[in-house]
């Protein structure tokens, strides 16, 4: 399979990263009290949530992201940026950048 075809799957991955489903039971009741940026490549969350439900939630998402890249045969090294931005009262947004293209959730 051609790497270009695999990269196009990143749009779907970005959408799935923010969906509420069985992967993360915390998502359905997770309240975002402040603006958060979670880096899917480095597993860093800003500001540091210090062990609360937000950290537990994003650790599940980080693990899922790595597993889906491996399953889809997309090398992590070709991704320049992958992050989720969450703000109080707003839908989370996932942005993935690679090879001069940006794939973001709806």
The string over 14-51, giving b where at least 16 C-beta atoms fall within 10 Å of a residue's C-beta and e elsewhere, is: bebbbeeeeebeebeebeeeeebebebbeeebeeebee
Q: Convert the pLDDT of each residue in 41-91 to its tens digit.
A: 999 999 988 878 888 889 989 999 999 999 999 999 999 999 999 998 888
Can you give the residue ranges of every domain in the chain?
Answer: 3-104
pTM for the predicted model, two decimal places: 0.85
Is residue 29 very low, low, confident or very high in pLDDT (cuts 50, 70, 90)? low
Q: What is the CA radius of gyration of the chain?
A: 13
């Amino acid at each position: 399979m051609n790497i270009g075809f695999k990269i196009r799957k990143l749009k779907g991955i970005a959408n799935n990263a923010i969906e509420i489903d069985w992967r993360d039971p915390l998502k359905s009741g997770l309240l975002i009290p402040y603006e958060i940026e979670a880096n899917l490549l480095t597993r860093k969350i800003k500001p540091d949530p210090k062990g609360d439900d937000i950290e537990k939630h994003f650790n599940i998402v980080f693990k899922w992201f790595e597993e889906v890249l491996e399953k889809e045969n997309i090398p992590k090294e070709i991704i320049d940026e992958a992050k989720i931005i969450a703000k109080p009262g707003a839908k989370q947004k996932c942005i993935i950048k690679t090879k001069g293209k940006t794939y973001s959730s709806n």
